Amino acid sequence: MPKRVDHAERRTEIAQALVRAAGRLGLHAVGMRDVAAEAGVSLRVVQYYFESKEKLLLFGLQYLAGRFGERVANRVRAAGDNPGPRAVIEALLTAALPVDEESRLFHHLYTSYAVLSVTDEALAAQPFIKDPDTAEITLTGLLQQANDAGLLEAGTDTRTEAVGLLAMSAGLGTSVLVGQRDAESAMAVLRYHLDRIFRS
């Protein structure tokens, strides 16, 4: 057989090609041939490593989620050396904002998948529920930690606050994505709201 190939690696390369092509054409418009061309392989190879387009799309979503998780973790770790949890929280919330090309791509495709999941039950079963839930738990924990340290305003419901902040971050991200607002002002809005939560 021709030089044995690492399937996992190959699949990842193709998934990266899918993500790039989808960023350029839109996830709805990308076909197997586009992915093949973007990856520099033949259509047959894409078919070989993913039996169907649906399998490819599902793997693409997993790949995307993994990459995004890494990005958030990096951001949080970079801010982790700072004195308080405020910096960590800010890093967590701004990680989802489309500030550079990579995060723009994340937001664009993640939203695309979310829209598709409304009418595609195979996608609806994917980690759209789980992943945001862990973000919610993490942020709630950070806020609770800040609250226990007496850093927050009195009467703060950390759970509700976390849900609201994450939704706000997602909403701001979308408005940045469609060009209604620039990334700078979106971050300013988030910082303002954190200022209202944290004790002055």
| Close Cβ partners of 17 (under 8 Å, ≥ 6 residues apart) | 35, 36, 38, 39, 40
Residue 47 binding partner per list its own copies, DNA, none, with a CB distance cut-off of 5 to 8 Å that depends on partner kind: DNA
Instruction: Give whichever of 24 and 44 is closer to its own copies, judged by the CB atom.
Output: 24
138 binds, among its own copies, DNA, none (CB under 5 to 8 A by kind): none
Helices (H) and strands (E) in the chain, counts: 10, 0
Least Cα distance to 138 among 101, 95, 177 occurs for 95
In whole angstroms, the minimum distance from the beta carbon of 176 to its own copies comes to 10
- Using CA atoms, how far apart are residues 153 and 159, in angstroms rounded to an integer? 14
Binding site for its own copies (CB under 8 A): 24-29, 108, 111-112, 114-120, 124, 128-129, 132-133, 157, 160-161, 163-164, 166-172, 174-175, 177-181, 185, 188-190, 192-193, 196
State the binding partner of 74 from its own copies, DNA, none, CB within 5 to 8 A by kind.
Answer: none
Q: Which residues bind DNA (CB under 7 A)?
A: 1-5, 7, 10, 30-34, 41-45, 47-49, 51-54
Q: How far is the CB of 198 from its own copies (least distance, A)?
A: 13
Nearest CA among 123, 120, 6, 4 for reference residue 64? 123
Q: How far is 170 from 124, CA to CA, in rounded Å?
A: 19
Q: Which is nearer to DNA, 10 or 71 (CB)?
A: 10
**CA dist 100 to 97, 130, 144, Å?**
9, 26, 30
- 67 touches, from DNA, its own copies, none (C-beta below 5 to 8 Å by class): none
